[in-house]
Chain A
């Protein structure tokens, strides 16, 4: 059974700093997904990581996948206030239609 754990669950940081959100999963996951949720809003897909060593970047966000370590990271570079949101990671297995979700990381970036 696939389980997904994120840490930290809450992160408060200053603008301009760098930080990383970690997503560990318990067994083989063919795919790893990152989503963003703004307060009171729905979820937006950020990245889909499909293979070991995959790295994707969009603006100040970069996601990577290490299937051997069963770890994905979401790195925030020079954080800005607009990146304040809750970030979720999720894994899936090829034989299953479901996504297995992490608990989410609430990120607050202070000006």
Chain B
């Protein structure tokens, strides 16, 4: 069966510091991968998605970036965090070989920028 991991689970960072969040998927090959952000009490905002190694699509201009160095690894980064970067970051995967796009979510990383 497939599992998706995210770490760290929680993170408190000062404004201007760098960020690196990691997501890995087990039990599947060539998944579509997604990064979302959810502000407190709000809906989901798609940040990035990837359909293959090195292929990243950005949905929202911001100070964040994403990379996919390996098939089942997706990394979200920032060089300098802003207060507005606080939120709940969710990684998700979907099976690119099926005709529908059911996404499966990791446990999330709760980021607080102070």
Task: Decide yes or no whether A12 CB sits under 8 A from chain B.
Answer: no
Contact B49 A97 (CB under 8 A): yes
Bound Cα distance from A33 to B98, whole angstroms: 15
What separation, in Å, do the CA atoms of A101 and B103 have in the docked complex?
12
Within 8 A of B (CB), among A56-111: 88, 92, 94, 97-99, 101-104
Q: Are A42 and B108 in contact (CB under 8 A)?
A: yes
Does more than half of chain A's interface fall in helix, strand or loop, or is it mixed?
loop
Q: Given that A97-B32, A98-B46, A101-B44 are known contacts, is A42 also in contact with B107, CB under 8 Å in the complex?
A: yes
- Expressed in whole angstroms, the minimum distance between the Cβ of B93 and any Cβ of chain A is 11
B59: which A residues are within 8 A, CB to CB?
Answer: 98
B104 surroundings in chain A (CB, below 8 A): 45
Contact across chains for A97 and B43 when beta carbons are under 8 A apart:
no
- Which residues of B in the span 76-114 have a Cβ within 8 Å of any Cβ on A? 90, 92, 94, 96, 99-108
List chain B residues, Cβ under 8 A from A104.
Answer: 43
Q: Is the CB of A98 within 8 A of B44?
A: no
The answer to whether the Cβ of B75 comes within 8 Å of any Cβ in the partner chain is: no
- A-B pair count, CB < 8 Å, reads 47
Contact A31/B43 with A42-B108, A97-B51, A98-B49 known, Cβ cut-off 8 Å: no
Contacts of B106 in A (CB 8 A): 42
A55 interface residue (CB < 8 Å to B): no
Whether A44 lies near B105 (C-beta < 8 A) is yes
Q: How far is the CB of A46 from chain B (nearest CB, A)?
A: 10
Contact (Cβ within 8 A) B108 A31: no
Whether a CB of chain B sits under 8 angstroms from the CB of A2 is: no
B44 touches A45 (CB 8 A): no
A residues touching B (Cβ–Cβ < 8 Å)? 30-31, 33, 41-45, 48, 50, 88, 92, 94, 97-99, 101-104
Q: 8 extra interchain contacts, Cβ-Cβ under 8 A, other than A88-B43, A92-B101? A: A31-B101, A41-B107, A42-B108, A97-B49, A98-B49, A99-B46, A99-B101, A102-B43
